[in-house]
Structure 1
Amino acid sequence: MRDFANSQAELWLRQRVGELGMALGLGLVFAYIGPFSTDKPDFLPKLGYWAGLLACWFIVAAVVEQALRSIDAYRSAGVWIRRICLVAVASAPMLAVVAPATTALVGWEASVPELLEMYGQIALICLGVVILSDGILGTSRTAVAGRGEDAGGATTHALPPPTDGGADATIAPPSVLAESTLLTRLPPAVRGPILCLEMEDHYVRVHTSRGSSLVLMRLGDAMREVGSTPGAQAHRSWWVAADAIENFERSGRAARVTLSNGLTAPVSQRHLQSIAELAQGRASSF
């Protein structure tokens, strides 16, 4: 457990250092270029301005992103829709940081048209930062770990242990662990048969019979690590286990599955046939 906690601290620190390095590196670039009428001040004030604002962006984006994750429509949306939504929402509070900083640097005076223009500039720059962050920091996130609460508010949810006096069921038996590499990446308290995988930005929330935990990896990689657990991808953000399907509903082009843990996963047209076959096979097994 101590090794697990240390790995989480190392992962969190590495991510923060990566974001700080990006803020400084991009700050140097922007200070040299001087975009949006910031070319006249001296280099060091410009460097502090740009690096500071970019560092603030990572903080604001993390807070806003965590809030957006509580919305089902956001979690089930595509990657680009989530990115655009994040930038559109987070750019608003960034105005409270950028406006006074710009006033201090170049003597900028606020007005409604100027604020609207500044919002557009913030959104444009931050969208570029998000794309770069995905490419630079996202591809380096190969170390995977289930997490307790961290700076971004990610949590591990575990069900209470059984009270029937039997063996401790909070830890999956060796046979279950041997079948799935993914389970070995989870905290012991939530290791159990995998019910579904839910994509949350750079993370995959692994739902098991014992609870759920966030894992830092791509959904495609997580699906390859479920082992012999039968199932199929239901949506670009969801994978469901066959044994977890309780109900399959289809209304026109929209479809969804209800799982044994009470969750409802959307089913896209691309994966409709495979999920329908899984649901049919599940129903025939009763």
Structure 2
Amino acid sequence: MGIGVRFEQIRPWLQGLAVAALAGLFLAAVGAFGSDGAPAPIRYGYWLTTMVGGAMIAGVAAWPISRMKSLERRPWLMWAVMSPAIAAPITVFVWLVTPLFFDGVWAGGTLLAFFPPVLIICAAMTGINLLLHRQPVETHAAAPGGGPAPFLERLPLKLKGAQVIAVQAEDHYLRIHTDRGSDLILMRLADAVRELEGIEGAQVHRSWWAARSAVRDVRRGDGRATLILDGGLEAPVSRTYARALRAEGWY
């Protein structure tokens, strides 16, 4: 079990290296940024070296940014902050490596000249990796002495005081599932999840948030999981979030 846990911890890093290697092969094949004039062995060696080496540097540079609480629920802002932050050290690496493979203009380029193409590649790679490693948005139980989740104030009168089991997006509305029945309110799921802070749960699908205490079982089929909640309610688990929820012990 310990080995499995360690593998889960390094899986994103290994996936990042694999994506970088594939991107390096693609950039070499198309002769990106004017490298098409170089012999194939030099071209492939250069792009694989810079992409895989850059991915290793990015893993270190991105780590403190990925832990920023202010960015964890704002993936676009994280992308905007992380891309230039990792591009800076990678630019230095590319600038030092390039003369080992090329002569002339490429080898004599300044750091400033290398930054724009490195930033473009870093932005693309960062976006891909953020999509691959998206984490479910979690909400947490209220701290001792803390107030109730703000979302509870939005419950229709007939559901006041009910326990929230799940919240399901339906077009521009949300269906609130509780132990006293369900009802619709006009609200976005993303806004609701923010206001559900104070109840332990997570977004398990792009259209569903579920309370952790309401999970009674899980059904698997066709490579997908479905949470069985209180009252027999079924909440689908997106493949995007399945691995993270499993690692958190949801099922």
TM-score (norm 2): 0.51
* 1:58 aligns to 2:49 (yes or no): no
Task: Specify every segment of 5 or more residues in structure 2 that has no aligned partner in the other structure, as ranges.
Answer: 144-165, 169-176, 180-187, 201-251
Structure 1 counterpart of 2:23, from 8, 22, 26? 26
Unaligned runs of 5+ in 1: 139-200, 211-221, 245-286
Name the SS of the counterpart of 2:33 in structure 1. Answer: coil
Structure 1 residue 228: deviation in Å? 7.5
**1:204 to partner: Cα distance:** 5.2
Instruction: Give a deviation string over 1:240-267, Cα, whole Å, max 9, x none.
Output: 44469xxxxxxxxxxxxxxxxxxxxxxx
Indicate conservation of the 8 Å contact 2:50/2:94, yes or no.
Answer: yes
Tell me the alpha carbon deviations over residues 128-170 of structure 1, each in whole angstroms, 9 at most, x when there is no partner. 12233344x33xxxxxxxxxxxxxxxxxxxxxxxxxxxxxxxx
Counterpart residue number, 1:81: 77
Q: 1:236 to 1:73 in 2, by over 3 A?
A: farther
- Contact 1:61-1:86 within 8 A present in 2 as well: no
Q: What's the secondary structure of 2:58's corresponding residue?
A: helix
Deviations 1:20-62 (A, max 9, x none): 3222222211111111222222222222221222222322222
1:243/1:90 Cα in 2 relative to 1: closer, same or farther (>3 Å)? closer
Change in Cα spacing, 1:235 to 1:28, as seen in structure 2 (3 Å) is same
Partners in 1 of 2:32 and 2:142 — Cα distance?
52
Residue in 2 that maps onto 1:49: 46
Tell me the secondary structure at the aligned position of residue 37 of structure 1: helix
Change in 2 beyond 3 A, CA 1:235/1:86: farther
TM-score normalized with structure 1 length: 0.45
What does 1:135-214 align with in structure 2 at a 5 Å threshold? 135=131, 137-138=132-133, 202=135, 207=140
SS at match of 1:58: helix
Spell out, residue by residue over 1:204-250, the C-alpha distance to the aligned partner (whole angstroms, 9 max, x if none): 5665589xxxxxxxxxxx988xx979xx9785984644469xxxxxx
Q: SS of 2:95's equivalent? A: helix
Partner of 2:64: 67
Partner Cα distance (1:65, 1:51) in 2: 20
Between the two proteins, the alignment pairs up a number of residues equal to 160
The SS at the match of 2:37 is coil
Distance 1:69 1:16 in 2: 13
Q: Greater CA deviation, 58-67 or 95-104?
A: 58-67
Aligned residue number for residue 153 of structure 2: none
Tell me the percent identity. 18
Partner of 2:128 in structure 1? 132
CA contact (8 A) 2:88 2:115 kept: yes
Question: Contact conserved, 1:223 with 1:239, CA < 8 A, in 2?
Answer: no
